[in-house]
Amino acid sequence: MKGYTYILLCSDGSYYTGSTIDLDTRLQQHQAGEGANHTRKHLPVKLIYYEEYPRIDEAFFREKQIQGWSRKKKEALMNGWDEELKKAAECMNESHYKNKK
């Protein structure tokens, strides 16, 4: 069964990432306040990005991956900014900088 990973822009400017087997129905549910607690509290929402997968488990895995990302990295993904996406994915701890010199 095919699946989708999607990102919504909420009325407060926050992003919500989810996955579903029926994107149109899920968006209607979010708009009707029947979606997740976060979207229910920040209506209306707008679909700003989605990816399609052959199986729902792949879409769910991608949802969980994206949920752990920073806002900057999500925006790089949504805008197709490959270089910025790679940069946002880099390790930024102290050892990273020491090893780069």
The domain segmentation of the chain, as residue ranges, is 1-68, 70-101
pLDDT score of 92 more than 80: no
Instruction: Summarize the confidence of residues 84-88 as an average pLDDT.
Output: 70
Q: How far apart are CA 57 and CA 39, in angstroms?
A: 22
* Over residues 43-57, mean pLDDT: 97
**pLDDT band, residue 94 (cuts 50/70/90):** low
Q: Is the pLDDT of residue 8 over 60?
A: yes
The pLDDT confidence band at residue 87, using thresholds 50, 70 and 90, is confident
pLDDT, tens only, 73-83: 999 999 988 77
Mean residue pLDDT of the chain comes to: 89
In CATH, 1-68 is 3.40.50.300: no
Give pTM, 2 decimals. 0.83
Calpha distance 49→4 (Å, rounded): 10
Dist. CA 12–CA 44, nearest whole Å? 9
Element (H, E) at 17: strand 15-20
Token pair for 83: 């270089």
